[in-house]
Amino acid sequence: MSHPLQIQQRIIELEVEHRDLDVVIDTLVRDVNHDELQLRRLKKRKLQLKDHITLLKMQMMPDVPA
């Protein structure tokens, strides 16, 4: 995936999923009987998304000579 428009589209998709996870995590935290394992998995997925978004954004930046 090297085309800038494809990368930008993927970033948008991942950001939407990241925001959706925020809502799900907040809802789970408010529930007294929430599943702790599920909550940890969702938080881990959210961090993975953030890392992936960061890597894709770095690909969008032009190379700067040292």
Which parts of the chain sit beneath pLDDT 50? Answer: none
To the nearest 5 percent, what fractions of the chain are helix, strand and coil? 80, 0, 20
The per-residue pLDDT for 39 is: 96
Instruction: Please state the pTM of the whole predicted model.
Output: 0.83
The per-residue pLDDT for 58 is: 92
